[in-house]
Amino acid sequence: MKRILSTIMLTLAIAGAAQAQELANFSRGNRPVISPEIQGDSVTFRLKADYATVVKLSGSWMANPYGGTIDMTRGEGNIWSVKIPLPSPEIYTYNFVVDGVAVNDPQNVLVQRDGTRYLPMLIVPGERTGNYGEAKTHGTVSHPWYDSQILGYSRRLTVYTPYGYENNPKKKYPVLYLLHGAGGDEEAWISMGRTAQILDNLIEKGLAEPMIVVMPNGNPGQQAARTLNIPEKTNVNWRSEEFRNAYVRSLCTEIVPFIEKNFRAIPKPASRAIAGLSMGGGHTISASILYPELFDYICPLSAAGSATPEQIAALKKAGVKLYFLACGSADFLFEGSKTLDKTLTEQGLDHEFFVSDGGHTWANWRLYLNTFAPKLFK
Amino acid sequence: MKRILSTIMLTLAIAGAAQAQELANFSRGNRPVISPEIQGDSVTFRLKADYATVVKLSGSWMANPYGGTIDMTRGEGNIWSVKIPLPSPEIYTYNFVVDGVAVNDPQNVLVQRDGTRYLPMLIVPGERTGNYGEAKTHGTVSHPWYDSQILGYSRRLTVYTPYGYENNPKKKYPVLYLLHGAGGDEEAWISMGRTAQILDNLIEKGLAEPMIVVMPNGNPGQQAARTLNIPEKTNVNWRSEEFRNAYVRSLCTEIVPFIEKNFRAIPKPASRAIAGLSMGGGHTISASILYPELFDYICPLSAAGSATPEQIAALKKAGVKLYFLACGSADFLFEGSKTLDKTLTEQGLDHEFFVSDGGHTWANWRLYLNTFAPKLFK
């Protein structure tokens, strides 16, 4: 076997370009270009571009307040580079701009998917990102499909079960339903939100209860993320009376029972939490209004939604263990969150209003998950 | 809720660039550039590139025998395009080359991952690709981690359970262990091999038995795909005597029991199949030699491995229901496959030698899976 494999390695090296697309890992063995490279308090980006005229770097850390791009400089071997001060600890995305065209970093194996775009990540280590990398122990991420009578088709979910789920077949777990925003899908919280890493780390450190996390697709016209090549259902008026709150109804009356049937979930309000960002924050608020007795933990994040005093009163009557409202002070929805906070206060519903810096960003949503997950089910 | 969402959409439209990276799906609503566009027997690729000097198209259908790239032409609005005859039905990958730099197609939502590279896909419809698109029904894909004593850490698996698995909690299923090649990882068969789509379609059409498919990571130094940012274990000599056949031993004595404990698998040789491509074909052959009684179905594909007459005789004695050997006639391992076929014939082991056109490619491995999966467990 050893001899045969050596022969293959040699043969592959000779086989060359015609086979190259099937054997990507090989070509990375001896890479001359390293990018990005963090050294002390700086980071260097590099791209080999033999015939480019202008190469720039664009990074999410530049988006606000500086905007724009940074010029890169052509060096030996047509390797363009730029060295910049390391941004503060966070996960950023970036790309190169080669003669006006956005290009991903071919040297960077860390990529996140935002809707239909793949973007290289720069993870700057630090306290803020301490739970965003891989833990020693790992939960299981799965993608089951549930049948929705309300929406008229089967739909893809993302489900995280914590480390130990397989080895403790008698144990039942509480469940967090975690909802994405407009533009997202059932993989948004996993890819950009680092949900598996955050939960793995929090649970491993004993900071959060082992829990199941369910991440549905919040777009009623989608069966699954658009990357799966299933046409969206566009011949339906999702805003018609028939489909009013259809996704939230599907979540509460179809997804919750599906999870409680197929996973070892504790089927009680005290073991159910709901959280969501932006549009998902609106879904969270709607679910709490339409089904006030379903969830004891309610966390609207950068929320696009509001509730009337009467609705809050009904929720208070039903009993809530945690109402965690979070928003960035620079978020365009901050005024709405402040209004909701005021209504909650006026109605005497115990709650926490967590205000962070920054705006409507995944940097904040990761921070919020990392902040509220330890407060659940305790 | 409706009014609030309309306000958000408007606000987002105004919010502009600073938020753009969080809201990818929105920006695609009104896209002026369509790429790729299949029309009749041609396909057009387009890329907006304002400042590029030379833009080319490179596609996997060109790799052999033509090689190279095709020039694209600048048109109105700096949209570069090229219209070519539609290649024969298959899944191809392609990219643009902008002033010498490889660029993915920003308009194409269909992307496959090969090791650490993301590549846009062109799916040409036809009989050959009939099972490569999404079926109506979908199995569940999950990523559990198993603890390996042999390799010294927990490792990530990909597991496909067929449609109906959740709704039939008493039913047990046969299991196919499906192994990737050198350069691949536990997602290779899902991403490039279209395993979920092929099995969904075959099972939906009644052509294959509902089965579980287990896709491990065959690189003993890796806990998981490199995209997960877990450092590889490089301080171990995986070729030393201690680790001889370590991955195959882990597969047969750790992964098989893990699956049969945590999934509703039928724990019998007649309900176990093993198949693998290239290096995974070598693993398949090694597993059949080291554990001749474990699998009744053995399928080395474009295999990098061989067996002695004595080893084949032992296997024959153990009893095999199907030995399916497959290779492309242009594969650089074709001679080795022919030798194995000859040995199998000489030893009187009933087998099938499936010879296809082409070489060491995913086009062939998809074809092989689509061909042998219906022969399993019958």
Instruction: List chain A domain ranges.
Output: 21-123, 140-375
Q: How many Cβ atoms sit within 10 Å of the Cβ of residue A77? A: 9
3-class DSSP state of B137:
coil
Is-contact A218 A179, C-beta < 8 A?
A: yes
pLDDT surpasses 60 at A27 = no
Write down the pTM of the prediction: 0.91
A85-91: average pLDDT? 96
Q: Does residue A182 sit at the B interface (CB-CB below 8 Å)? A: yes
Q: Does residue A119 sit at the B interface (CB-CB below 8 Å)? A: yes
pLDDT in tens, chain B (378 residues): 444 444 444 444 333 333 333 333 344 444 579 999 999 999 999 999 999 999 999 999 886 544 679 999 999 999 999 999 999 999 999 999 999 999 999 999 999 988 888 999 999 999 999 999 999 999 999 999 999 999 999 999 999 999 999 999 999 999 999 999 999 999 999 999 999 999 999 999 999 999 999 999 999 999 999 989 888 888 888 888 888 999 999 999 999 999 999 999 999 999 999 999 999 999 999 999 999 999 999 999 999 888 999 999 999 999 999 999 999 999 999 999 999 999 999 999 999 999 999 999 999 999 999 999 999 999
- Interface predicted TM-score of the whole assembly (ipTM), two decimals: 0.89
Is-contact B288 B297, C-beta < 8 A?
A: no
For B33-88, give the secondary structure using H, E and C: CCCCEEECCEEEEEEECCCCCCEEEEEHHHCCCCCCCEECEECHHHEEEEEEECCC
In A139-158, the residues whose Cβ lies within 8 Å of chain B are: 140-145, 154, 156
Beta bridge partners of residue B269, listed in sequence order: none
Element (H, E) at B91: strand B91-98
pLDDT of residue B117: 86
> What are the φ and ψ backbone dihedral angles of B153, each rounded to 5 degrees?
-160, 175
Contact A143 B142 (CB under 8 A): yes
d(CA B70, CA B96): 10
B286 CB contacts (<8 Å, ≥6 apart)?
Answer: A1, B245, B248, B305
A41-61: average pLDDT? 95
Tokens of A165: 């789920």
Write down the architecture of domain A140-375 according to CATH: 3-Layer(aba) Sandwich (3.40)
pLDDT of residue A63: 67
Q: Does residue A25 sit at the B interface (CB-CB below 8 Å)? A: yes
Q: Does residue A339 sit at the B interface (CB-CB below 8 Å)? A: no
Name the residue facing A134 among B9, B114, B228 (closest C-beta). Answer: B228
For the domain covering A21-123, report its CATH number: 2.60.40.10
DSSP 8-state assignment for residue A87: P
All residues of chain B having their beta carbon less than 8 Å from the beta carbon of residue A279 are: 5, 8
Element (H, E) at A160: strand A158-161
pLDDT of residue B63: 67
Contact A156 B142 (CB under 8 A): no
Contact A114 B24 (CB under 8 A): yes
pLDDT of residue A212: 98
Is-contact A362 A192, C-beta < 8 A?
A: yes
Beta bridge partners of residue A97, listed in sequence order: A56, A102
Q: Does residue B339 sit at the A interface (CB-CB below 8 Å)? A: no
Q: With 0-12 CB in 10 A as exposed, 13-18 as middle and 19+ as buried, what is B206?
A: exposed
Q: Does residue B76 sit at the A interface (CB-CB below 8 Å)? A: no
In B315-334, the residues whose Cβ lies within 8 Å of chain A are: 332-333
Which value, in Å, is the radius of gyration of the alpha carbons in chain B? 23
Smallest Cα distance from B69 to chain A, Å: 12
Q: Does residue B282 sit at the A interface (CB-CB below 8 Å)? A: yes
Name the residue facing A141 among B28, B142, B336 (closest C-beta). Answer: B142
Write down the architecture of domain B31-123 according to CATH: Sandwich (2.60)
**Average pLDDT score, chain A:** 90
Q: Does residue B103 sit at the A interface (CB-CB below 8 Å)? A: yes
3-class DSSP state of A29:
coil
Contact A144 B166 (CB under 8 A): yes
pLDDT of residue A30: 47
